[in-house]
Every structure is written in structure tokens, then in C-alpha cells.
């Protein structure tokens, strides 16, 4: 068997010495590019610099690995003719390539955060655009070599080599696919930057398979993650008990995160303290929500928002769930001896006793944890662009990152609400602006009491919100109302005022804003308005 050779060329040097030592113990010779070669040599490892193989380095060592010697060693076929030719040319057969790419995405991120001037930006990106690395990886993958482009795979490769290279074809195919994925991501970052956003897209990695999509006949379906490092990304939620989440469950988790993070951000910005938050959704829209300083109160009020709708719903809280809180979720406002059924509960963590109490027959309640939920704040908003498939392509827009600030100079106040009622307005805003538009949302005493979502007219939103509140046994009088856009006529506010609403927050921009203000003033209703161009709260259109 020929003497095996590994080619190492990494930007980040962490762990590369240890990896090289493992390879040497397995009988590999080490070939490395300039900076990597020096790191290994300084650590006492016998290494051959790629410059020795390809000849004198030129252009400041910029094109050393872009040579026929390197790529011949990667692309040669495992046939006598190719091996003989390599031997005649004194070119080693390269068995393994370990490369991590220049941090292009990190560099582009610095530009987007204004760390560079416009003149510096392109030069900085060009400097961090790796050519040799992707080329080596793709040549190695095409040549059927071992490709290591992600540091987390180094141990996996070493263990595989030590165990005798089992299931070799599938293992190499996995590494091949991962190589192509990482390079595709890399090229997309470059294309997006250089085109000013004209070219865009994403490559995902499936991390969960769903039994089916929204309906039973929509198969296959699954959850994919992108390269995002977001701690609240769905890939960072751990299933600790229950069945695998369904497609609809994952959609609910995403919507719950939007609502919970907006509630947290609103309270963070308007007071600096994030309360205990409990949100329950049915088909993505909040049917119960509460913000309180006490976890038990928050969960109770969330459940009471709509006791009928929350049955079979999905709940998210930003506090740990113990046996006492589990008992509230199970039995609060239930008839004697009956238990509430929930499809999913998401929290920073659960006690074992809480899971045992909340489990459903057939494990139909999913328990998901993410410790990042316990520290929700204004920094928790999802800031990545939102993309949505449409026939023949996709739509792209910035994420929902507007947060209502009651000290915003553009906020026009007709009447001043007491502080506790302003808190209700904030909660109504956060819920309504993360519910399917058109929406009017009612909140009273820190509790969602009626959410009129997805209506085609503003009056219908008002009527539905009131109906949902009264159907659930709530007293509407004294509640706060949020409208996710302006009132085109006075009929919407009149419906709310007739029901006893005392505080309304909406946007301005209607030709009848003056009439709306006059009606509210004449009835003693406080009206807060922010320009529609700044604060319109349409969501999930």
C-alpha cells in the first residue's frame, strides 16, 4: 500500500496540530500550505510545505495551491496509468484534504455593520475571498478523497480511519456533499455582496424529518437549518420528551418566538425589565398571552385568554417549568378530574416531574427546551431577512424588527394612559403585530382577552376581537386595543368604544385621522398613533 499523504491548509489553526499528530500516528505524511506548515513545524511536526512541491512561491504566496502538482495529486484516478504518471513526475497521491475557508461571511458582516468605509469594503471582501481552498476541496471531493472542511468532522474522520474505514463509499459521499454545501454557502455570500443583493438564496441542512407537511399527503417534509448562529434558531431547540415535532408544530414554534421576542423587546425598551412571558398559539396566532412578574400568574392568564382555543395548542414560556407550573398548565380552570391536552410546550428547561405530569398518551405532547429563552430581551429579535417561496421564485424582505417605543417622538398621544394601561397597550401591540393581518388585539390587566386576526376589513377585526373576548367570558370594558394599521373610517373605533375600550393604539395615515381623533376625544378614549409608514404591523400576509 502506498504511503498516504494529507494536505492541510486552514485559516483558523485551533486544533490543527492535534489533528496532524493523529494523522501521523495513522501513517500519513503531512503536506501543508505556508501558514499552516509553519504552525505545524513550530509544534515539532515533520511537514512538507506545498511550495517545495510546486516550486518557488510567486505573487506573495497567493497561488501556491493553485498548481497542477496539487490538483494532479487530488484528481488522479486509482488506475495504474495515473499512479505511474504521478510517480514519474514525483507528485504524491493526496489521500486527505483538510481545509477551512477564509472567513468571508464574517468580513461581509463587518461591512454591513459599518466597520468599513465604502472604499475599503470591496477590497476587504476580495482579500478574504478564498480561491485555493474551495478549489482544493472540490478537486479532492471529485477525486474521491477524504475531504474535511468543517472542524467538527476531524474527530469523526480520525475515528473512522482508526476503525478500518467502514462503509467507505457512503462516508466519503457524506463528506463530498458537505463540502459542496459549504462551498455553495460561501459562493452565495460572495454573490449577494457583489450584486448588492440582486442574487440571493440559501442552502439548508435537514435536521429533523416530519411525518408529513401541513397535510398528510404532503410528504416528504422536514426542518432545515441554514448557517445561522442564532441561539434561538429552531435547530437549537432540543426535544426532551414526546413525539418528534410535526411540520405545523415547527411553524408554531417559529411564530411563538416572534411573539415572545417582541413582547420581551417592547418591555425591555419601555422600562428595562422583561417580565415572565407566557404565550399560547393555535394555528400560529396567539389565543392566549400574558406578561407578569409572577410565572404562575402569567401562565394562568395565558390559559384564561381563550380556554376553548388553547386546548390542543402549543405554549411557550420564558421560565423553567416545574411540577407546580405543570399543574397549572394541566388543571387551571378545568373541570374536576379533567386534564388539559397540549400539543407542545417550549421552555428554557423542565423538571423530570413536570414532564411526567404533562405527558400525553402516545407521547403526543412535545417538550422542547432552549436555555436562551430565559434571557429574552431587545437583542432577541430575529434580524435575518425573511424569505417566502412564491411560484417560480421567492420573496425577500427585512425581518419584523420594529419595536414600539412609547417615547418615540413620532408617537402622537391624544390623552395620556396610566402606566399599567400603557403596559397593556404594549402587550397588545406585540401580540397584534405578530398575528396574521388584518388584526385588532384586546388586552386587559396584562392578559390577551381577544385577538381578531386575519380579517379583510378593519371593522371585522374589531367585531371579531370583541366576540372572542366575550365568548371567553371576559369583560371588555377598560381594555386596551391595538390595530395593526390605521382606521380608514370611524366605524372601527366606534365598535371598540361601544364595547368599553378605553385605550387604543394604532397607526395614522388615513384621510379620516382627524375624525377618528375627534370621536375618541369626545368619548374620553386615549388614542396613541404612530405613522403607518413607520409602525404598520402587518404580519404573515
Task: Read off the pLDDT of residues 130-146 as tens digits, 9 standing for 90 and up.
Answer: 999 999 999 999 999 99
Q: Where are the alpha helices (DSSP H) in 26-152?
A: 34-42, 50-54, 68-75, 80-89, 104-112, 118-127, 132-142
Integer Cα distance of 508 and 271 in angstroms: 25
Q: What is the mean pLDDT of residues 286-305?
A: 98
Integer Cα distance of 202 and 206 in angstroms: 13
pLDDT of amino acid 121: 85
Cβ–Cβ < 8 Å for 10, 98: yes
CA dihedral 65, 66, 72, 78 (to 10 degrees): 70
Per-residue pLDDT reduced to its tens digit, 35-71: 999 999 999 999 999 988 887 777 767 778 889 999 9
Percent of the chain past pLDDT 90, that is, above it, reads: 87
Cβ–Cβ < 8 Å for 93, 70: no
Is the pLDDT assigned to residue 1 strictly greater than 70?
Answer: no
pLDDT of amino acid 156: 97
pLDDT of amino acid 109: 83
Average pLDDT, the chain: 94
Instruction: Catalogue all structural domains in the chain, each as residue range(s) with its CATH number.
Output: 4-194 (3.40.50.1380), 237-377 (3.40.140.20), 405-535 (3.40.140.20)
Per-residue pLDDT reduced to its tens digit, 159-185: 999 999 999 999 999 999 999 999 999
Q: What is the mean pLDDT of residues 459-465?
A: 98
Q: From residue 142, how far is each of 30, 172, 207, 258, 472 by CA, in Å?
A: 21, 10, 26, 42, 63
Measuring CA to CA, which residue among 506, 509, 474 is closest to residue 492?
Answer: 506
Per-residue pLDDT reduced to its tens digit, 467-493: 999 999 999 999 999 999 999 999 999
pLDDT of amino acid 337: 86
Amino acid at each position: 500500500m502506498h504511503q498516504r499523504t494529507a494536505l492541510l491548509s486552514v485559516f483558523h489553526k485551533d486544533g490543527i496540530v492535534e489533528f496532524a499528530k493523529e494523522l501521523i500516528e495513522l501513517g500519513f505524511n503531512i503536506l501543508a500550505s505556508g501558514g499552516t506548515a509553519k504552525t505545524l513545524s513550530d509544534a515539532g511536526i515533520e511537514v512538507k510545505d506545498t511550495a517545495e512541491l510546486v516550486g518557488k512561491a510567486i505573487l506573495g504566496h497567493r497561488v501556491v495551491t493553485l498548481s497542477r502538482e496539487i490538483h494532479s495529486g487530488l484528481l488522479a484516478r486509482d488506475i495504474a496509468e495515473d499512479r505511474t504518471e504521478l510517480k514519474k513526475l514525483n507528485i504524491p497521491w493526496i489521500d486527505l484534504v483538510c481545509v477551512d475557508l477564509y472567513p468571508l461571511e464574517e468580513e461581509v458582516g463587518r461591512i454591513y455593520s459599518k466597520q468599513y468605509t465604502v472604499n475599503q469594503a470591496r477590497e476587504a471582501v476580495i482579500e478574504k475571498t478564498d480561491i485555493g481552498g474551495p478549489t482544493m476541496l472540490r478537486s479532492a471531493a471529485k477525486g474521491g478523497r477524504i475531504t474535511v472542511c468543517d472542524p467538527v468532522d476531524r474527530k469523526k474522520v480520525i475515528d473512522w480511519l482508526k476503525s478500518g474505514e467502514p462503509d467507505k463509499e457512503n462516508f466519503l459521499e457524506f463528506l463530498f456533499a458537505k463540502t459542496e454545501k459549504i462551498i455553495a454557502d460561501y459562493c452565495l455570500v460572495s454573490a449577494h455582496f457583489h450584486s448588492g443583493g440582486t442574487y440571493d438564496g440559501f442552502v439548508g441542512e435537514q435536521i429533523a424529518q416530519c411525518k408529513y407537511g401541513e397535510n398528510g399527503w404532503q410528504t416528504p417534509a422536514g426542518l432545515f437549518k441554514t448557517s445561522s448562529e442564532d441561539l434561538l434558531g429552531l435547530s437549537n431547540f432540543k426535544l426532551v420528551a414526546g413525539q418528534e415535532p410535526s411540520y405545523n408544530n415547527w411553524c408554531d414554534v417559529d411564530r411563538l418566538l416572534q411573539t415572545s421576542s417582541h413582547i420581551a423587546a417592547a418591555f425591555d425598551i419601555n422600562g428595562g425589565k422583561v417580565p415572565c412571558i407566557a404565550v399560547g398559539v393555535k394555528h400560529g396566532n396567539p389565543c392566549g398571552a400574558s406578561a407578569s412578574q409572577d410565572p404562575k400568574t402569567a401562565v394562568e392568564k395565558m390559559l384564561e385568554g381563550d380556554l376553548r382555543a388553547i386546548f390542543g395548542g402549543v405554549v411557550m414560556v420564558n421560565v423553567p417549568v416545574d411540577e407546580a407550573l405543570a399543574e397549572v398548565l394541566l388543571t387551571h380552570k378545568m373541570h374536576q378530574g379533567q386534564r388539559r391536552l397540549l400539543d407542545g410546550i417550549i421552555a428554557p428547561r423542565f423538571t423530570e416531574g413536570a414532564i411526567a405530569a404533562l405527558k400525553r398518551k402516545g407521547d403526543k405532547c412535545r417538550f422542547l427546551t432552549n436555555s436562551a429563552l430565559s434571557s429574552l430581551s431587545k437583542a432577541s429579535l430575529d434580524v435575518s431577512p425573511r424569505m417566502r417561496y412564491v411560484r417560480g421564485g421567492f420573496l425577500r424582505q427585512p425581518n419584523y424588527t420594529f419595536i414600539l417605543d412609547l417615547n418615540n417622538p413620532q408617537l402622537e398621544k391624544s390623552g395620556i394612559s396610566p402606566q399599567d394601561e400603557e403596559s397593556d397597550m404594549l402587550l397588545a401591540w406585540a401580540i397584534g403585530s405578530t398575528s396574521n393581518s388584518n388584526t385588532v388585539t384586546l388586552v386587559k390587566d396584562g392578559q390577551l382577552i381577544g385577538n381578531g386576526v386575519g380579517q379583510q376589513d378593519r371593522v371585522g377585526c374589531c367585531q371579531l376581537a370583541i366576540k372572542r373576548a366575550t365568548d371567553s367570558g371576559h369583560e371588555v370594558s377598560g381594555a386596551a386595543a391595538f390595530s395593526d394599521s390605521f382606521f380608514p373610517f370611524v366605524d372601527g373605533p366606534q365598535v371598540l368604544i361601544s364595547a368599553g375600550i378605553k385605550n387604543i393604539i394604532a397607526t395614522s395615515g388615513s384621510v379620516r385621522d382627524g375624525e377618528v381623533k375627534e370621536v375618541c376625544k369626545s368619548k374620553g378614549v386615549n388614542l396613541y398613533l404612530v405613522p403607518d409608514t413607520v409602525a404598520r404591523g402587518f404580519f404573515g400576509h
